[in-house]
Amino acid sequence: MATLGKFNRLRVLEPDADGMVLDGEQLGPLPLRRAEVPAGLEPGHEIEVFLALDSNDRVYATTRRPIASVGEFAFLRVVDVATAGAFLDWGMPKDLLLPFREQIRPPRVGECELVWIDLDRVSQRLVASARLKRFVAAQPPPNLRPGAPATLLISERTDLGWKVIVDESYWGLLRTTEKVRRGQRIEGFIHHVREDGMVDLGLEAPGYARVAGAAEAVLQRLESSANGFLPFHDKSSPQAIRDGLGMSKKVFKQAIGSLYKKGRITIEPEGIRKKDA
């Protein structure tokens, strides 16, 4: 069944004066503009398209990719505030409505809102909601283990750290001194699952796994670099190490210390070198 607000693989019915007509199944025939018809597309072929609504609330197909689809979180810029609510830029011709009832604070043009994209069951229109608690599980999965990698979506700053959505499904708390921002998606690790169900997170794997993983990552970078050399050392800035290797300076120093003790690298004034390079 074709789904509004998502990508669908639809069959081409026939060409028309404006492009192609696709089989929208229960939604009926759908137009695909000529400018978006790829070369060689013929009746009977299938094509992946996104189904959206035009300014008259008519369904149409497009090969354009929105920032996010129905059933996903996104950090979207407010482009207008009107009587119906706020309108968000989600990468499509028709902006996405954030109704007043789905707001938690008055949105301002130019600022960004972290929202869930949904299909209103009554109006059958695509809408956004900033009331994230309805779409995020209060408890983590029962089989969660410390050290497991996770994707973190930064939600808001609290007195204890950053409240984040973990793997697009449950809440967690990120404690870090690294620079992060609302709406950013970053990779992190599970550190601890508390009795109250809140998950403590970090940007580095906990304990020995963190150092072992970082050491392996450094070795892989050395093997793929020119002459087995990387220009990172004790005097390198934390941001340079984060940007270049994806780890904190503290973990980098632990990793190269481990590699040096094992005889895998040499430490030079300007960087580190793989010993057998």
CATH code of residue 81: 2.40.50.140
Q: How far apart are the first and last CA of the chain?
A: 57
Domain assignment present for residue 142? The answer is no
Q: Judge contact between 266 and 256, C-beta under 8 A.
A: no
In tens digits, the chain (277 residues) has pLDDT values of 999 999 999 999 999 999 999 999 999 999 999 999 999 999 999 999 999 998 888 999 999 999 999 999 999 999 999 999 999 999 999 999 999 999 999 999 999 999 999 998 888 899 999 999 999 998 899 888 888 889 999 999 999 899 999 999 999 999 887 788 999 999 898 988 888 878 999 887 776 566 777 888 888 889 888 788 999 988 889 888 888 888 888 888 888 888 888 888 899 888 999 987 4
Domain assignment present for residue 194? The answer is yes
Domain assignment present for residue 226? The answer is yes
Environment class of 51 (CB within 10 Å of its CB; exposed 0-12, middle 13-18, buried 19+): buried
Task: Give the chain's length.
Answer: 277
What residues does 165 pair with on adjacent strands? 153, 171
Domain assignment present for residue 140? The answer is no
Total domains, the chain: 4
The overall pTM is greater than 0.85 = no
Domain assignment present for residue 1? The answer is no
Domain assignment present for residue 143? The answer is no
Domain boundary among 184, 202, 220: 202
Look at residues 35, 8, 43 and name the one whose alpha carbon lies nearest to residue 24.
Answer: 8
> Distance between CA atoms of 267 and 265, rounded to whole angstroms?
7
Write out the two tokens for 87.
């309108």
> Distance between CA atoms of 248 and 254, rounded to whole angstroms?
10
Shared-domain flag, residues 182 and 215: no
Domain span at residue 226?
207-274
